[in-house]
Structure 1
Amino acid sequence: MIHLPNDDNTCGWYQALPQTPVKPQLNGEVSTDYVVLGAGFAGLAMARRLAEHSPYARILLIDAQRIGQGASGRNSGFVIDLPHKFALEHPNPEHKQKLLSLNRSAISQLSKLVKQYSIDCQWSAVGKYQGAVGSRGEAYLDHFEHLMKDLGEPFEHVDGAELAKVLGTNYYSRAIYTPGGYLMQPAALVRGLGESLPENIEVFENSPIRRLYKENGHWVLQGDHGVVKTPELLLGTSIFTREFGYLKNRLLPVMTFASWTRPLTDEEMQRYGGQLNWGLTPADHAGTTLRMTADRRILIRNTYKHVPKYGASVSDRVKQQIQNDHRQVFLARYPELEDVPFTHTWGGVYAISRNFTNFFGQLDDGVYASACDNGVGAAWGTISGTLLADLVAGEYSSALKDIQQVTGMPSLNPPEPLLGMGVKSRIQLAKWQSRSEL
């Protein structure tokens, strides 16, 4: 029995979208040339690229939920060009340049698709701020500045007064602005990518796969109402890759949480006094991510949980406590908006590894995966999914060589219960250390 995604219906990004017809469910017995499992950023990119390479092949894209309901539609809406904060610490400058090039290739690819298919997802090239609240955050900003100089990337200092004009709050002491990041509505982007796939891709939603096994040289995927046989299987399943027997004891399931308001009224916008459509990530990685969306919603994201049972690990009581914590963070920044309610609080599960290494490549005969995005899935999922399809098709490039050089095998985790105890303690320690930046 495979443990399936267990996402609730409280994701604000997804609930804000208009309803669309449901794609068919997997039914009966099907044979196909390729199966892509998982319709997030990685799976969508895999399927699209396979179809470009093999326009007459039959390609099935299967998701356990509706497209946009999973982790790819639950993030904070950043598509970041820079390497992740931990990757920026890598001692090899060439390694970091390759990550930067891969991320920017993903942004270019997504930009072209958004324009080509008129995907209405608030796609905007506005960069991002990295903000500090106090001395701890400012020390991290100083270090970030040093890393940016070593990388040769442009950035701007933004003092507290100037930052307040953008954010509508004087809560932050200063920030560093980097121009290369994009903002978007993630569920809208994922859905739009799913609606614009090539014609030889068949999409099945609400079609969980319960069992995977090999028979007569083909992989057999068994669902609730159907069975698929294929010689080539591409997994865009992130943390759920371990449910199929691969990368077991190497991936850590972590959920991070967000809350947002309803759209502010004209009068509330006057009280707010800041700009629209910006994003701020914390200088201290355990701090708070803050967004003002293009449609006037303020989003707060922080709080991390180890979720060995995915969504089922988080009770209603815990969700309410998280929303209460988010409310305090919101009021600390915007006390003049205390009458503006939160409408949604949600979490999204993703995979991290102890050695902060992404997996990319072949797992078994005819089985390939890009797994473990370490929390930066929009750009990484897009480019890794694209290049994985290139690998399967035998289309080699400098970008494929680069991604093979910057990825590897996630390290083994200690056994339970030591793993759960260790992760929980690490998260609690980070929360305590970063309390001044929340």
Structure 2
Amino acid sequence: MNLSYWETKSWLTNIDYTIVGSGIVGLNCALELKQRFPKAKILIVERGTLPQGASTKNAGFACFGSLSEIISDLKTHTEDEVFHLVKKRIDGLSLLRRILGDETINYQELGGYELFSKESNLLDECQSKKGAINTLLKPLFNANVFRFEPNHFKFNNCHNSLGFNQFEGQIDTGKMMMCLTQLVLKSGINILNNITVEDFYEESSIVHVKTDRFAFKTSKLLIATNGFASKLGISEVKPARAQVLITKPISKLHIKGTFHLDQGYYYFRNIDNRILFGGGRNLDMKGEETTNLGQTQHIQDALETLLKTTILPNTSFEIDQRWSGIMGVGHQKKPIVQQQSNNVYCGVRLGGMGVAIGSLVGKELANLL
């Protein structure tokens, strides 16, 4: 692709900071950099027409982990690590709400619920460990976080007791990303879409960046591609595809809130009188370790079956849309926010908690400089 003199001069010359990825992390990083360095020239390059990973494709859960997820995390993390993971998610959600405002992102704190399949022993484990988890998290909330309630939603094929967390909320993901993008553009930060960064190398105080369209130079390179981070040499992050579907509007929909099933591998919520339902990665963990934004028949079939048999057993519905997003995961849930080399930095591995921690990770990434 041959650029004109004007294009090169206006967009690709004397760049102080280049951010790879225009998702939650990248946009928040750009805003923080602009606040700290108001005269800096900042460029964001994005591989998609819209943010390509998970920022515009997630379910809009303003959550910090269900009871079973936290219990599961305690099997691979220390209590102190889990406590600080939850704290980071709470702090990140608070920052997001302060930056954009609850009305702007349509934040609603309707509570979060957890369903327990009759085929598993998760309910027994959660009931026995609920007190210990509440004690662990009480300093963060000054209240008990988790309790159990009767299944008044009439979900089928699950225990009558639902886990409940009053502090969980939901947002409109599209409104959040549109507002963040508008704030960035109003700040004088440039965003170039449909540009894939393929490689880069450092030479003295300059980073040479090669894209699928052109090459350019920047003083600092900040990688915020999360699920695509391994393509830029960050091997600690693996892609994890999450498949989603949404129904057409349902009259007299009685389900309100955010809902978790099977340790968070399935999740659903109400939005615009519809049910948005995602998950099923656990049915093919290796196959879903991909950056391909597609769907697979067996996972989509599993989602529809659960909708029919468990979530909406006595309600007719039609599927309106299907899509997928790419998360960034790893053997640890703590995000990677670090300096990679002299002039290259990264903020990645959000572990499916992008809405909760994306704003904070973006700020932390900017503050590495």
Provide the TM-score with structure 1 as the length reference: 0.72
Q: Deviations over 1:294-313 (max 9, x none)?
A: x111122221143455116x
What one-letter code is carried by the residue in structure 1 that aligns with 2:47? A
Query: Which whole-Å CA distance do the structure 2 matches of 1:91 and 1:351 have between them?
Result: 18
1:133-144 alignment, distance < 5 Å: 133-134=117-118, 136-142=121-127
Q: Distance in 2 between matches of 1:144 and 1:350?
A: 29
Which amino acid counterpart does residue 159 of structure 1 have in structure 2? E
Deviations along 1:120-176, one digit per CA (max 9) or x if unpaired, are x4322223112223252312422551322332252353433xx32xx3535542222
How is 1:212-291 mapped onto 2 (pairs within 5 angstroms)?
A: 212-245=200-233, 247-248=234-235, 250-264=236-250, 268-269=251-252, 272=253, 274-276=254-256, 278-282=257-261, 284-285=262-263, 287-291=265-269
1:195 matched to which residue of 2? 182
**1:144–1:186 CA distance, 2 compared to 1 (3 A):** farther
Q: 1:150 aligns with which of 126, 136, 139?
A: 136
Which protein is richer in helix relative to its size? 1
SS at structure 2 position matched to 1:169: coil
Deviation at 1:35, TM superposition (A): 0.8
Report if the CA contact (8 A) 1:28-1:225 is conserved: no
Which of 185, 188, 193 is the equivalent residue of 1:205?
A: 193
**C-alpha distance in structure 2 between counterparts of 1:308 and 1:175, whole Å:** 31
SS of residue in 2 equivalent to 1:71: coil
Match status 1:328 vs 2:305: yes
Preserved CA contact (<8 Å) 2:112 2:165: yes
Paired residue for 1:391?
A: 368
Deviation track 1:203-229 (CA, whole Å, cap 9, x = no partner) reads 112222233122353112222443331
Instruction: Determine the C-alpha separation between the residues in 1 that align with 2:306 and 2:8.
Output: 41
Q: What amino acid does structure 1 have at the position aligned with 2:319?
A: F
Aligned equivalents of 1:126 and 1:217: distance in 2? 50
Q: C-alpha root-mean-square deviation of aligned residues, in Å?
A: 2.8
Q: Does 1:169 align with 2:155?
A: yes
| Conservation of the 8 A alpha-carbon contact between 1:141 and 1:175 | no
1:101-116 maps to which residues of 2 (within 5 A)? 101-115=87-101
Q: CA deviation at 1:95?
A: 3.5
Are 2:170 and 1:183 aligned?
yes
- Which SS does the other structure have where 2:47 is aligned? coil
CA contact (8 A) 1:168 1:275 kept: no
**Which among 24, 40, 46 is matched to residue 57 of structure 1?**
40
8 A Cα contact 2:149 2:164, kept in partner:
no
Cα distance change of structure 1 residues 141 and 320 upon mapping to structure 2, 3 Å threshold:
same
Give the AA of the match of 1:181: E
Match of 1:423 in 2: none
1:39 maps onto 2:22 in alignment: yes
Once residues 126 and 44 of structure 2 are traced to their aligned partners in structure 1, the CA distance between those partners, rounded to angstroms, is 42
In the alignment, what sits opposite 1:292? 270
Determine the C-alpha separation between the residues in 2 that align with 1:25 and 1:329: 52
What residue is the counterpart of 2:116 in the other structure?
132
Q: 1:140 to 1:75 in 2, by over 3 A?
A: farther
Indicate which of 115, 122, 136 corresponds to 2:106.
Answer: 122
Q: Which residue of 2 aligns with 1:341?
A: 318
Code of the residue aligned with 1:106 in structure 2: it is G
SS at match of 1:311: coil
1:319-363 CA distance string (max 9 Å, x none): 23322221111111313223x211112222222212444322111
| In structure 2, distance between residues paired with 1:226 and 1:252 | 27
Unaligned runs of 5+ in 2: 1-6
Report if the CA contact (8 A) 1:40-1:70 is conserved.
yes
User: How far apart, in 2, do the equivalents of 1:275 and 1:244 lie?
Assistant: 42
Name the structure 1 match of 2:4: none
1:311 aligns with 2:297: no
1:28 to partner: Cα distance: 6.9
Shift in CA distance, 176/358, structure 1 to aligned 2, threshold 3 Å: same
Instruction: Please state whether the residue corresponding to 2:304 is helix, strand or coil.
Output: helix
Deviations 1:179-238 (A, max 9, x none): 222201223312221112252311112222233122353112222443331111111011
Q: Which residue of 2 aligns with 1:403?
A: none
Native 8 Å contact 1:25 1:204 kept in 2 = no
Partner SS, residue 57 of structure 1: coil
Matched-pair contact (CA < 8 Å) for 1:93–1:151: no
TM-score by length of 2: 0.84
Displacement of 1:88 after TM fit?
A: 4.6
- The 1:88–1:44 alpha-carbon spacing in structure 2 relative to 1, beyond 3 Å, is farther
